[in-house]
Amino acid sequence: MTYYEDESPRLTSRVIVGTSTSGTPILHDTIEHVVLNPTWAVPRKILTEELVPKIQLDPGFLERGGFRVFEKGKEVSPAPVEWYGDPPFAVVQEPGPANPLGRVKFVFPNNAAVYLHDTPFGHLFDAKERAFSHGCIRVEKPMELASLLTGLSLDELEKRLADGKTKAIALDPKVDVHLFYYTAVVEDGRVRFREDLYGRDRSLVRALRARP
């Protein structure tokens, strides 16, 4: 990830992107808010495929992880036996060290429901191939990016984070964000080729080979 200001790069950061089965989309949008101490509204697919099996095996999983459970907009305390099939619940994780969004989230409303965010799993940035997310983009230097976007110093951001409460900082002006997918790039005057993680080059090759 590169952040530009007046057409000059101000910050570069390694990122983690979606897996081969949950790819990060190509899109162009604007970052509207920086959210400190974000909550995590668990997507339905992650809830049914990943969290429900853990809840079934460990009734204390939700409480330890800081999860709150809602049914038709009302907070409830479901019994473990109800976590089978397609449970009628929505699950939200409170801010804290276990929250996968970390301490800051960068919101640009889009149909793919993806965004940039911090992560408590910083060791994953050392991997050569960093495709571990469900589609969102995890940023290695989230606080530095938040400082540049909001104009607040790192110290001021830390003060606002200290109480652990969720708060949003509206950006004015909003900041453009562009998500690209390239398997061939130019670096230091040389063309370098990358792995086609999402298999998108096949469609491009077919289109190039097709008759007019």
The residues that are catalytic are 117, 136
Rounded distance between C-alpha atoms, residue 96 and residue 66, angstroms: 8
Given a contact cutoff of 8 angstroms between Cβ atoms, the answer to whether 61 and 174 are in contact is: no
Query: Both tokens of residue 126?
Result: 């050392």
Q: What angle do CA 156, 122, 140 make, to 5 degrees?
A: 55
CB 152 within 8 A of CB 20: no
Q: Which residue spans within 72-166 are E strands per DSSP?
A: 74-76, 90-93, 104-107, 116-117, 131-133, 137-139
